[in-house]
Amino acid sequence: MAIKKFKPTTPGQRHKQIVRHNDLTASRPEPSLVEALHRKGGRNSQGRMTIRYVGGGHKRKYRVIDFKRDKDNMPATVQTIEYDPNRTANIALVNYTDGEKRYIVAPQGLQVGQEVVSGTEAAPEVGNSLFLKDIPFGTVIHNVELRPGQGAKMARSAGSYAQLMSREGKFATIKLPSGETRMILQSCRATIGMVSNEDHELEVSGKAGRSRWKGRRPRTNPARMNPVDHPMGGGEGKSSGGIPRSRNGIPAKGFKTRNKKKASSMYIIERRKK
């Protein structure tokens, strides 16, 4: 993949940069793995707005992704590499030897026709899903489980990856994309390789309309609001807005919001970088 730039024929094209999806091999999803996705526009079950700046956007269909990879010791052949509007990474359609089809998050370097497998007998190769106890030290991994059988929760977005550092007792130590180092049970699964579409972070939309296509509405600067609407609102002229804080009064810029009594804190060896 590479970045495509545009000639400045219009203001919206001047700074626009998008990813060339040369490695995609299909334009339509597998019908049996597609579900309806209803937009809520930031409204709850009573119809009241609970999330601001959400609404509109292009209609989407949800691709059911296999984050558990629990079909052990059964090879699957990669049929297609596809675009998924619901995530930043590409997805791959795999066909198991028993005829079942599933979508997985496509790692970097996965090719059509390649075989992937999960379980204890799998080799530590790109696209294979293994238990942390079976993965060599220093291996780049993604789709990491937090609890055995829960399904992948970490390192799932475009270009992200974690790294297996060590093992001690029943825990493995991995370094996460944020820089955090934490312990995870060795009976949890992870997939070998880095997530595809690593150039996603280089994209530049070029115009506000592309945000609207994604269902994102314009945000209002809190300092421009009235005091009744935000703690930073009000004041005469261009006031600073006071201490940077959220609508609920929680300070920003360095204020730690993680609960000190959170049970998972005992598994974190080194906190993420500031």
Q: Which of 23, 19, 59 is nearest to 39 (CA)?
A: 59
Percentage of the chain with pLDDT > 90? Answer: 87
Average pLDDT over the chain reads 94
pLDDT tens-digit readout, 212-247: 999 999 999 988 899 999 999 888 888 876 789 999
Instruction: Tell whether 146 is covered by a domain.
Output: yes
Distance CA 73, CA 122 (A): 7
Distance CA 217, CA 57 (A): 9
What pTM did the predictor assign? 0.90
Which residue's entry shows tokens 């700074």?
15
Bridge partners for 4 per DSSP: 18
Which residue's entry shows tokens 């959400």?
54
Instruction: Tell whether 256 is covered by a domain.
Output: no
Q: Which amino acid is at 206?
A: G
| CATH number for 129 | 2.40.50.140
Instruction: Tell whether 112 is covered by a domain.
Output: yes
pLDDT tens-digit readout, 92-142: 999 999 999 999 999 999 999 999 999 998 999 999 999 999 999 999 999
Contact 154, 163 (CB under 8 A): no
Instruction: Give the DSSP H or E segment for 175.
Output: strand 171-175
Tokens representing residue 159 in the block: 């270009």
Instruction: Tell whether 212 is covered by a domain.
Output: no
Contact 244, 232 (CB under 8 A): yes
Instruction: Give Cα separations from 121 to 75, 117, 124, 200 (angstroms).
Output: 11, 8, 10, 33
Contact 157, 49 (CB under 8 A): no
Instruction: Tell whether 142 is covered by a domain.
Output: yes
Domain count, the chain: 1
pLDDT tens-digit readout, 142-201: 999 999 999 999 999 999 999 999 999 999 999 999 999 999 999 999 999 999 999 999
Range of the domain at 162: 2-201
Instruction: Give Cα separations from 157 to 78, 154, 168, 208, 268 (angstroms).
Output: 20, 9, 28, 23, 21
Distance CA 250, CA 188 (A): 35
Instruction: Tell whether 19 is covered by a domain.
Output: yes
Residue 274 has pLDDT above 70, yes or no: no
Instruction: Tell whether 228 is covered by a domain.
Output: no
pLDDT tens-digit readout, 14-41: 999 999 988 899 989 999 999 999 999 9
pLDDT tens-digit readout, 45-61: 999 999 999 999 999 99
Instruction: Give Cα separations from 262 to 91, 170, 221, 233, 268 (angstroms).
Output: 33, 21, 32, 33, 11
Cα 5 to its chain centre, rounded Å, is 25
Collapse the DSSP code of 47 into the 3-class scheme (helix H, G, I; strand E, B; otherwise coil) and give the result: coil
Instruction: Tell whether 43 is covered by a domain.
Output: yes
